[in-house]
Amino acid sequence: MTRYEQKQEMRKEKARETVLKEANTLEGWPEVRGYDFEGEFNFENFMKSYLTTGFQATNLAQAIEIIKEMRREKTDIFLGFTSNVGTSGMRENIKFLVKEKHLKAIATTVGAIEEDIIRVFKPWVLGSWDAKGEILREKGINKTGNIFCPNDRYLYFEKFMNRVLNRLYERQKNEKKIIGIVEFVSELGRELEMMEVESEISKKALETSFTYWAYKNNMPIFCPALPDGSVGDMLYFFKKNNPDFKIDTSDYVVQVTDMALNSKKMGLVCIGGSVPKHLFSNAALFRDGADYAIFINNSTEFDGSNAGTSLDEAISWGKIKHDAKRVKVETEATLVLPLLIAGAFKLYEP
């Protein structure tokens, strides 16, 4: 063999050693395996297969297992979500959790509440992602993603809100007491119940509302950004005629923090970012962090936003305990929330 051939052979062996570097065999580690659709379909086994599928499927399966542990440990579950949850069919998912008393409290933005109430009267409808805004505007149709929200629904909401506001204003004048945000939202649920009693809406329609069920089950709904939506529009017109009408926008801070402090174990389930996610996370800070945490969103953390924050960032602030069971599922929520509820609540009883 010539010297040139020897050098070539040495290079080949070195390349082989580089490409096929000796490795730890990881014997005993979980095998990556998805659901085998051969044979009869079994939904429970299908859900279990997510744990070994990899990528975000595994994170979802871990979230399901964490919630199962929360339930076994009788953990207070604080659910935070943004308004688009109330816009979509996830509204019915939330209603189930509230009706069945699986939650300690809810935090959301006002859009979710007002759209939950509007849909008691008339539904949203499926449209298309690429519908032209200028054409929809001419027809009085609002668009949220591929969901259409016609303006006529807001006429029902205006009548509903005027009834609530007039009733609460009279109470304020008589009792000399300013209502807080949590009580205000509860009164919305109470108004729906009164409408059903007076046969203005059906019982079936009433019971689709998570706002109603939260009122019925005495479950607080925290909504710090109360005027940031159609409720704010109604408040504008009402206060122009009744400028002395007030809502206490600070009492909820005491309420939510006391709830966190009084929880033996606290679990966070946050869908999306924004105020709801931070409200419960910050309340957990007062007790040196939550014991469990599940974040579901598709935001990144490169800009330091609350929406995309990592679990380690929350730990650094003391909002999640360093040894908490935790996972972030990076995905669009409509894809996974029904599966999460199916796996952690419907298929499982502690």
Per residue in 28-77, pLDDT (tens digit) is: 999 999 999 999 999 999 999 999 999 999 999 999 999 999 999 999 99
- The residues assigned a catalytic role are 319
Give the model confidence (pLDDT) of 153-193 as tens digits. 999 999 999 999 999 999 999 999 999 999 999 999 999 99
Give domain status of residue 33, yes or no: no
Give domain status of residue 332, yes or no: yes
Mean pLDDT taken over the chain = 94
Give domain status of residue 249, yes or no: yes
Strands (DSSP E) contained in 298-339 are 320-330
Could you tell me what percent of the chain has a pLDDT over 90?
A: 87
Q: Is the pLDDT assigned to residue 4 strictly greater than 80?
A: no
Task: Say whether 181 sits in a helix, a strand or coil.
Answer: helix
For the chain, how many structural domains are there in total?
1
Contacts 24+ apart (CB under 8 A), 253-258: 255/180, 255/182, 255/220, 255/222, 256/105, 256/107, 256/220, 256/222, 256/280, 256/283, 257/283, 257/286
Neighbour-count burial for 154-184, b at 16+ CB within 10 Å, e otherwise: beebeebbeebbeebbeebeeeeeebbbbbb
Instruction: Kindly indicate the confidence band of residue 299, based on its pLDDT and cuts at 50, 70 and 90.
Output: confident
Instruction: Identify whether the C-beta of residue 122 lies closer than 8 Å to the C-beta of residue 152.
Output: yes
Q: Which of 208-217, 266-275, 287-296, 307-316 has the lowest mean pLDDT?
A: 307-316
Q: Which of 141-145, 169-173, 299-303, 327-331 has the lowest mean pLDDT?
A: 299-303
Q: What distances in angstroms separate CA 50 from CA 35, 60, 79, 269, one per listed residue? A: 8, 7, 23, 19
Range of the domain at 77: 65-123+153-346
Give the model confidence (pLDDT) of 216-246 as tens digits. 999 999 999 899 999 999 999 999 999 999 9
* Contacts of residue 334, Cβ cutoff 8 Å, sequence gap at least 6: 88, 89, 90
Q: How far apart are CA 54 and CA 64, in angstroms?
A: 15
Q: Is the pLDDT assigned to residue 18 strictly greater than 90?
A: no
Give domain status of residue 93, yes or no: yes
Give domain status of residue 11, yes or no: no
Q: Is the pLDDT assigned to residue 247 strictly greater than 80?
A: yes
Give domain status of residue 253, yes or no: yes
User: Hey, CA dihedral for 45, 50, 53, 58, is it positive or negative?
Assistant: negative
| Torsions phi, psi for 204 (to 5 deg) | -60, -45
CATH number at residue 172: 3.40.910.10
Q: Is the pLDDT assigned to residue 293 strictly greater than 80?
A: yes
Nearest residue to 256 via CA among 100, 117, 76: 76
Give domain status of residue 227, yes or no: yes
Give domain status of residue 21, yes or no: no
Mean pLDDT of 123-132: 96
pLDDT value for 17: 66
Instruction: Identify whether the C-beta of residue 310 lies closer than 8 Å to the C-beta of residue 328.
Output: yes
Q: How far apart are CA 245 and CA 247, in angstroms?
A: 7
Q: Is the pLDDT assigned to residue 346 strictly greater than 90?
A: yes
Q: Which of 3-7, 23-27, 36-40, 162-166 has the lowest mean pLDDT?
A: 3-7
